[in-house]
Structure 1
Amino acid sequence: MHVNSPMPLASPEAAGMSGAALARIDAHLKQNYIDAGRFPGTQLLIYRRGQIVHRAVQGLADVERQIAIKDDTIFRIYSMTKPITSVAFMMLVEQGLVALDEPVHKYIPEWKDLGVFQAGITPPFMTRPPARPMLIIDLLRHTSGLTYGFQQRTNVDAAYRAQKIGEIEKAGTLQSMIYDLGRIPLEFSPGDAWNYSVSTDVVGYLVEKISGMAFEQFLQRRIFDPLGMVDTGFFVPAAKAHRLAACYAADGKGGMILQDDPTTSSFLSPPSLVSGGGGLCSTAADYLLFCRALLNGGEFGGVRLLGPKTLALMTSNHLPGGRDLTQLSKSLFSEATYAGVGFGLGFSVTIDPAQTMIPGSAGEYAWGGAATTSFWIDPTEQLIAIFMTQLLPSSAYPVRRELRTMVYSAITESNL
């Protein structure tokens, strides 16, 4: 028996949505992704005006063993960990323990002299001093100059791959990652560009250092336990192992191959590196509790994570000059489209829906994970959408764009 039992399903029409249009989404996913052999199975949860109006599970959690996806299937949410880590950090900001405009080297002294890459293929690289120090806010909005090795764009991310920094299969510890990053130059001077990176892993390290509590314990005590997120954590305990989905990889031919067997997965035991950037497993029901707290101005069920003004700050566009990602991104990979989309403190933020060419609202915020999980929250429409599957990489198919289009087209009464 789970503490987090599913909410009852409400009539879509009572919440200003079309049940027939929502059913079309299920048919689309089944025909184009599950029956086509692209995805093993899917879970979709739509919440609007205080009620769950659509909850659908289709296909398999484990193709090899023919185990169906259920409401309580546990997924690797990868980078959907980032918003949770960012909220945890902002809880410390609210306590007056740290400020966004402080230099990162105040807390990581060994990074004080980090240079910006100029030339070289292995250490020691040729570097130049940054125009300004890396600030805490640079970590939260991915303007830090850090990167991910899988970008495969520069000699810097090649150095990340050599040290196995930010890999899907985590290596080392948070402390060893901080040490290794201190020996590799920055891609660019902090604030000059946006680049998807291990920045949020560093945020997790800072949560640990500033709070004096292990990062995973902080999340458990301050977020998961209070909200009743009973199935969210950095590993899946033995008693729940049968609920962990298999993870697949797109084979480049419209099919998929097994990437992580749930019976032998590294997610079945506590990791040595607790990744605030991509380490969590969760369920759609658990993640909805977190999203409901955000949609409700930082509070849910009598539990306040953040004040509404802090949340408003987090979900504003923080890219320098008010620009969008097309104007500032150096990244070859991201969990968001770029045009009309900025970045806040842990989320992508829609600035101008017309530029995205997808229905939506200004102020909508979102993110996704490497295995094609995703969520978005639209305060204007009082809408939350959570999508779960397990297929790497998330860029294999345009399913997020399709879901946004179809979910918004199901709205019959707009709050605008």
Structure 2
Amino acid sequence: MKKILFPLSCSLYFLLFSFQATAQLKIDKENVKQYGFSQEKLIILDSVMRSYVDNKDFSAIQTAIVKNGKIIHFDNYGYSEISSKKPLDENDIFRIASMTKPIVSVALMMLYEEGKFKLDDPLYKFIPEFKNMTVKKGKKEKPIKNHIKVIDILRHSAGFGFKGPEGYRKSIGMNLEEFVKESIKTPLSYEPGTQWRYSYSTDICGYLVEVLSGLTLDKFLKTRIFDPLKMNDTFFELPKEKINRFTTLYNKEKNGELNVFDSPSESPFTDNVTLFSGAGGLLSTTSDYLIFCQMLLDGGVYNDMRLIKSSTLDLMLEDHADGLKYKGFVFGKKKGFGLGFEVVNKTDTKFGSKGTYGWGGMFGTYYRIDPVENMIFIYMTQSFETYKLKLADKFRDLVYDSILE
């Protein structure tokens, strides 16, 4: 495909403006060596990431690395919309899918700090419908032995399964309360507190935020997280005046063609959104999400403003899945799961330094935060292909390979 990357100095100028307009993250791409990175290796990283676009695995990709609070690397390549050959812009808006989960988990833990609940509290204490749950045992349903606790919905051990895009499309028009109460009419897949199985349980976290705060989830996130951090391009429903910045989501067919799965003009994200999905409903930009990540990396503080205690984040980053049987995703012995994040819990791994954490989204988004390296790295695409291609593994390896020894 024709290369449409803006000249790097121009590209970084616009991104710098975006960050300064939101939360003052600074760009310093001229001195990557002083931050411990090889410029030559970063060029290789760009080349590899762009090759996926040239091979038509997806339409575009945006990558960034933040080191010591400075953006030392940013690359923007491909088309936001293929048929019109509209270039991807630095400020374009992406469906971040499950990268919503860490934000909503932080929101719920803000209420934990206020004494609204304890992690071991039974969920039915706040949502009575959870008191008489059943679990599927073969072809039969039986009453659960273990009541679902709040910690279970944060660490994916509550007994629920996974809902994909089509499952949510069937729920368009519901609000979060209706969605949760309808979903739990189905028997649980396993006994709560015994397995780790990736699920939609962060939707229940979102509903619990509503119950405990008295605010709808969108308003809570806006007032407690997005407005303080000036994350002005993160929301559940795309404002009409920003539709020209909304990327197209593609699905690669068997014939190799990229077909539109969700277009800005017909997207459910643009029309009267009522289901504020805590599991995957947010839209955001690379710059906005980096601000959220920097707040986490700095122990809950951003621009001298504290959103959450560092001790609470430390609690969230413990491996709370230790001892659970894993189903679905298999992390192995070197990674675990905290309260909203995957966490590297061993040294000497290919997954990053011990304590590295983050998550990704099924529409092609991914980030990791490495406290040892004081580093954040992220990419944004809009494609289902990234998991098949193991793009996250490739990107992570290239980032670490770019660090000078």
Alignment TM-score, normalising by the size of structure 1: 0.88
Aligned to 2:57: 38
Q: What SS class does the counterpart of residue 257 from structure 1 fall into?
A: strand
Structure 1, gaps ≥5 residues long: 121-125, 151-160
Report if the CA contact (8 A) 1:191-1:320 is conserved: no
1:337-388 per-position Cα deviation (integer Å, ceiling 9, x unaligned): 555210000000112355x6x2511110010011110000000110101100
Cα distance between partner residues in 1 of 2:250 and 2:347 = 32
Report if the CA contact (8 A) 2:344-2:351 is conserved: no
Letter in 2 for 1:9: D
Match of 2:291 among 283, 289, 292: 289
Report if the CA contact (8 A) 1:142-1:199 is conserved: yes
Matched, 1:27 2:24: no
Alignment of 1:6-25 (within 5 A): 7-10=26-29, 11-25=31-45
Aligned to 1:197: 199
108-117 vs 200-209, greater mean Cα deviation: 108-117
Letter in 1 for 2:345: I
Cα distance between partner residues in 1 of 2:386 and 2:119 = 30
User: Structure 1 residue 45: deviation in Å?
Assistant: 0.8
Aligned to 2:404: 412
Report if the CA contact (8 A) 1:47-1:385 is conserved: yes
Aligned to 2:128: 109
Letter in 1 for 2:343: V
Report if the CA contact (8 A) 2:161-2:197 is conserved: yes
Aligned to 1:144: 158
Aligned to 1:153: none
Aligned to 1:240: 242
Cα distance between partner residues in 1 of 2:309 and 2:237 = 30
Aligned to 1:371: 363
Alignment of 1:7-406 (within 5 A): 7-10=26-29, 11-31=31-51, 33-120=52-139, 126-150=140-164, 165-166=167-168, 170=172, 172-321=174-323, 328-331=325-328, 334=329, 338=332, 340-352=334-346, 354=348, 358-392=350-384, 394-406=386-398
Q: What SS class does the counterpart of residue 265 from structure 2 fall into?
A: coil
1:11-70 per-position Cα deviation (integer Å, ceiling 9, x unaligned): 211211111111111100122x11101010100010012211101101111111111111
Q: Quickly say closer, same or farther: Cα 1:169–1:180, change in 2 above 3 A.
A: closer
Letter in 2 for 1:264: E
Report if the CA contact (8 A) 1:43-1:387 is conserved: yes
User: Structure 1 residue 130: deviation in Å?
Assistant: 2.2
Letter in 2 for 1:110: E
Identity of aligned residues (%): 37
Cα distance between partner residues in 1 of 2:149 and 2:231 = 31
Cα distance between partner residues in 2 of 1:145 and 1:218 = 27
Q: Quickly say closer, same or farther: Cα 1:21–1:254, change in 2 above 3 A.
A: farther
Cα distance between partner residues in 1 of 2:258 and 2:219 = 36
Aligned to 1:156: none
1:141-163 per-position Cα deviation (integer Å, ceiling 9, x unaligned): 0000011144xxxxxxxxxx9xx
Cα distance between partner residues in 2 of 1:207 and 1:191 = 21
Letter in 1 for 2:37: M
User: Structure 1 residue 171: deviation in Å?
Assistant: 5.2
User: Structure 1 residue 262: deviation in Å?
Assistant: 1.4
Letter in 2 for 1:201: D
User: Structure 1 residue 255: deviation in Å?
Assistant: 4.1
Cα distance between partner residues in 2 of 1:401 and 1:228 = 31
Report if the CA contact (8 A) 1:369-1:394 is conserved: no
User: Structure 1 residue 168: deviation in Å?
Assistant: 8.7
User: Structure 1 residue 208: deviation in Å?
Assistant: 0.6
Cα distance between partner residues in 2 of 1:337 and 1:411 = 25
Structure 2, gaps ≥5 residues long: 1-16
Report if the CA contact (8 A) 1:44-1:56 is conserved: yes
Q: What RMSD in Å do the two structures reach over aligned CA positions?
A: 2.0
Cα distance between partner residues in 2 of 1:264 and 1:184 = 31
Q: What SS class does the counterpart of residue 189 from structure 1 fall into?
A: coil
1:106-152 per-position Cα deviation (integer Å, ceiling 9, x unaligned): 111111010111244xxxxx3122231110000000000011144xx
Report if the CA contact (8 A) 2:32-2:72 is conserved: yes
Q: Quickly say closer, same or farther: Cα 1:169–1:338, change in 2 above 3 A.
A: farther
- Runs of 4 or more above 6 Å deviation: none
User: Structure 1 residue 320: deviation in Å?
Assistant: 3.8
User: Structure 1 residue 401: deviation in Å?
Assistant: 0.2
1:76-117 per-position Cα deviation (integer Å, ceiling 9, x unaligned): 001000000000000000011111110011111111010111
Report if the CA contact (8 A) 2:322-2:336 is conserved: no
Report if the CA contact (8 A) 2:65-2:378 is conserved: yes
User: Structure 1 residue 313: deviation in Å?
Assistant: 0.7
Q: What SS class does the counterpart of residue 92 from structure 1 fall into?
A: helix
Alignment TM-score, normalising by the size of structure 2: 0.90
Cα distance between partner residues in 2 of 1:74 and 1:300 = 22
Aligned to 1:154: none
Cα distance between partner residues in 2 of 1:191 and 1:359 = 26
Cα distance between partner residues in 2 of 1:259 and 1:19 = 36
Q: Quickly say closer, same or farther: Cα 1:294–1:229, change in 2 above 3 A.
A: same
Letter in 1 for 2:48: H
